[in-house]
Structures are given as structure tokens and as C-alpha cells.
Amino acid sequence: MTTLIQAKNLSKSYGTHQALKSVDFSVERGRIVGLVGPNGAGKTTVLKAILGLTSYEGELKVLGLDPNRQRHEIMQKVSFIADVAVLPRWLKVSNALEFVTEVHPNFNLERAKHFLAKTNIPMSAKVKELSKGMVAQLHLALVMSIEAELLVLDEPTLGLDILYRKEFYNQLLAEFFDEGRSILVTTHQIEEIENLLTDLIFIRDGKIVLNDSMDKVSENYIEVMVSKDDAEKAEALNPVMQRDVFGRKVYLFEGVSREELEPLGELHSPSVADLFVAKMKEGK
């Protein structure tokens, strides 16, 4: 099975507010998918639906199972970090390991001990005695020791300082990710993960506005730095966005060929952040 998540016409309403408007997407095995959108766009709703934490309308299959009815089977193969600060404060590190070992059929205790040995986290400490960064390390150590096929991360590095944030993703890539697994991640710090991602999904007002592999994205979207004199020529090609940088103009084009753009100036791939801004402003 290569498709881990398959969503068709996925919708969700909170009262009269439609948080998700008939969304389609899929996540294949071996991919790292970034789900990006402004606050309230529906990112967390998507993740909650996948994890069986909320009801929804439409069709959704996670590892071929129905998240609403087969949540606890799904959780044997899917792990998630909702936020770094959800480990209970009273829990002792050693007890956390003991507990997960006993309840999770796919947890590898030796691996978790190995990860923890590389940190300064004492086994006898309670979560409330650890720093925020250490709690994140502990949570990551637990989750990476689960032989999961899908890892879902919802703002996993929120509130962490930059050192831990970098290390968090580095470790995830080095120790967890391989072609048999997938990672689905949402974050506000896009620039931190853009080099890890293989796929990108933008979501706005409950709708998907971009859903492509990173390769496709860099083929489709091209940024050109144009001198003032060529500005008119560039604008004739319908750029999606423009901004001024040091007296020159930077235009972002969608679906315009390289050959057409090359005469205008230097070409490069836009950063995900710039692309995001463009996509969020589109049509407004």
C-alpha cells in the first residue's frame, strides 16, 4: 500500500462556520508533506480528522482504516506530536517509558533509552522539572521509538528556542524518516522545514490552494529579479506577485516557461514563505 492517507470531499463544520470545504488530498508513503496555512485555515482540523480526534463529513482513509471508528487500531501505526507541551507534568521519565512500552505494540524501549542517553534528561525526573526543550526531546524520543508508518506533527516546535528547533528536525530526518514512512507536518516556521519537505499543501479558508511535490513547485513557480527598465515586459507576463528589493523588482510567475523569463533577469526558485504569501493574497 503506497497511499497512507486518502481524503475525498473532506468537510467539517463548527456550527455555521465551515472549517473544511470539501477537501481532496492524499499522502503517499515515503513523503514529507508540509501542510501550511494561516491561523484558522483548517490545518489543525485536517490533522484532527486524520487522527480520529474529531468527526467529519466525506471520505477519509488512514492506512486503509476509518479514523472515526478504528481510531485505536490506527494509533498502532500512526504517532503524533500535537504540541510539545502536552506531556503530563506529573509523569516521571522512567514511568513514561514503562507506560508506552506496556501499551504500545510497536514501541522499541532500547531505542528510546538510546535517544535519551544522548540528552541530559535524568530518568528519575518528572516532566515538570524539565525545561521546555527537554520535554520536546523526551516527547520526540518516545515518538521516534514507535515503529510508526505515519508521523503527524502539529506545530511541534512551537515555543522552543532555535537550537532545539534545528535539532528537532535534524534528528527526525536522521533517526526516524525512511522510504517506508511518511511525515505530515504543520508549522508557522516554514523556512525551517522547507528543505526537508517533499510535498507541499497550502490551505486557505478551508480550501486547498496548492498541492504539489516540491519538484513540481520549483518547476511551476519562478522568481525573477528584474531591473526597473524591464518592469513592463515582466508585468505583461502576469506575475502572481511582485515586491521591491534594493531598487529592483522581484516578480513571481506561475506556469511561465524558463525560456520566456530568462531574458528578463536572474531566475531562482521562490522560498516557500514567499510562495505562501503570494498564494494567500491571490484573488483578494
Amino acid at 270: P
Under the binding rule (CB under 8 A), the answer on residue 260 touching other proteins is no
Work out the angle at residue 242's Cα, subtended by the Cα atoms of residues 236 and 248, and round it to the nearest 5 degrees.
Answer: 95
Which of 200, 203, 168 lies closest to 270 in space, CA to CA?
200
Q: Are 83 and 158 in contact (CB under 8 A)?
A: yes
Compute how many other C-beta atoms are within 10 angstroms of the C-beta atom of residue 203.
Answer: 24
Binding region for other proteins (CB under 8 A) out of 17-25, 100-108, 243-251, 275-283: 100-108
Q: Which of 88, 180, 263, 283 binds other proteins (CB under 8 A)?
A: 88
Q: Does 17 bind other proteins (CB under 8 A)?
A: no
DSSP annotation of 263 reads: G
Identified binder of other proteins from the candidate list 15, 105, 247, 263, rule CB under 8 A: 105
By CB under 8 A, residue 120 contacts other proteins: no
SS3 (DSSP) at 122: coil
What letter would DSSP give residue 39?
T
In angstroms, the first-to-last Cα distance of the chain is 40
In the complex, the smallest distance separating the C-beta of residue 80 from other proteins, rounded to whole angstroms, is 5
Residue 43 to residue 201: CA distance in whole angstroms: 10
Angle at 219 between CA 215 and CA 222, to 5 degrees: 125
Q: Which of 6, 9, 91, 167 binds other proteins (CB under 8 A)?
A: 91
Exactly one of 1, 17, 103, 229 binds other proteins (CB under 8 A); that residue is: 103
Identify which range of 71-79, 177-185, 233-241, 258-266 contacts other proteins by CB under 8 A: 71-79
Rounded to the nearest whole angstrom, what is the least distance from the CB of residue 97 to other proteins in the complex?
11
Binding of residue 85 to other proteins (CB under 8 A): yes
Q: Does 11 bind other proteins (CB under 8 A)?
A: no
Contacts (CB under 8 A) with other proteins, residues 35-64 = 48, 51, 53-55
Binding to other proteins (CB under 8 A): which residues in 236-255? none
CA gap 212, 2 in Å, rounded = 17
Q: Residue numbers of the site for other proteins (CB under 8 A)?
A: 48, 51, 53-55, 71-73, 75-76, 79-83, 85-92, 95, 98-100, 102-105, 139, 143
